[in-house]
Chain A
Amino acid sequence: AQKVTQAQTEISVVEKEDVTLDCVYETRDTTYYLFWYKQPPSGELVFLIRRNSFDEQNEISGRYSWNFQKSTSSFNFTITASQVVDSAVYFCALSLNTDKLIFGTGTRLQVFP
Chain B
Amino acid sequence: SAVISQKPSRDICQRGTSLTIQCQVDSQVTMMFWYRQQPGQSLTLIATANQGSEATYESGFVIDKFPISRPNLTFSTLTVSNMSPEDSSIYLCSVSPGAGFAEAFFGQGTRLTVV
Binding site for B on A (CB under 8 A): 35, 43-45, 47, 50, 91, 93, 95, 97-106
Contact = CB atoms under 8 A, between A and B. Distances in A.
A91 B103 contact: no
Interface residues of B, number: 23
B103 A104 contact: no
A61 B109 CA distance: 27
Contacts, number: 48
A95 B99 contact: no
A35 B43 contact: no
A91 B43 contact: yes
Contacts of A101: 33, 43, 45, 94, 104
B108 A100 contact: no
Contact of B92 (A45, A50, A99, A100): A45
Interface string B78-115: 00000000000010101010110111111011010000
A44 B109 contact: yes
B102 to A, nearest CB: 6
Nearest to B108: A44
